[in-house]
Amino acid sequence: MRYAFPAPSIPSIPVLGSSERFPVRRIYTIGRNYADHAAETGLGSASEPVPGISLKPSDSIWVEDRELPYPPMTEQLDPEIELVVAIGRDGTNVMKADALEHVFGYAVGYDMIRRDIMRECIANEHSWDLCKSFSGASPVSELRPASDFGHPNSGNITLEINGELRQQGNLSQMIWDTADIIARLSSYCSLRSGDIIFTGTPKGPKPVERGDKLSGVIEGVGHLELEIV
């Protein structure tokens, strides 16, 4: 096949303990998956929060370079620490009992959000795409293969900014756990090898500025350090 111009490279994530890389096909994000965060945003009640699903472009992946440029057109950039699930096996209408068989591995990720743009989108009933779609919107650590480390269903998840604790929670607090997410997503559209899923964030996200240093840890999964420049 001959293209009109050179095809763009495929974004990829390094795999822990291997020279292989995980090619990224599509990025899904799950919102309001922790009740305390849903309550603080005002986008869901603490008693009956309903997680939401959105998409990000695959080229928003940011790996290896631990300096992240502050994006344009925003004055409120919020990082949200999240467990990232990497899909390694295709599936449609996957049963929850079989869902974890489709997982390649896990990583620590930051869902970077231009929060002021998000508020404008909500107020004007527009899509949220612009608040999450920019270069560097999806920093991710190296992937831990599930075949080597298993499937985390609990464990502390924390984010520190300049050494100060900003977010703290536990994976066990997710409303939809990993198996739920895979089963639900695959009923809407087929999941494919190369898809990754940001699974939601606990309460506490706040804006960062240039010069801020981020240090995120998910127990049993890994850590991700980043500086905003």
Q: What integer pLDDT is reported at residue 130 of this predicted model?
A: 87
Q: What's the pLDDT tens digit per position in 72-118?
A: 999 999 999 999 999 999 999 999 999 999 999 999 999 999 999 88
The region of weakest confidence among 41-50, 55-64, 164-173, 213-222 is 41-50
Say what the pTM is.
Answer: 0.95
pLDDT band at 160 (very low <50, low <70, confident <90, very high): very high
Report residue 131: phi and psi, to 5°: -75, -20
Question: Is residue 47 over pLDDT 70?
Answer: no
Q: What is the mean pLDDT of the chain?
A: 93
Residue 213 has pLDDT above 80, yes or no: yes
Find tokens 């620490």 and name the residue.
Answer: 81
For the ranges 29-43, 94-108, 122-136, the maximum mean pLDDT occurs at 94-108
pLDDT tier at 41, thresholds 50, 70, 90: low
pLDDT band at 211 (very low <50, low <70, confident <90, very high): very high
**Which residue from 113, 211, 200 is spatially nearest to 157, judged by alpha carbons?**
200
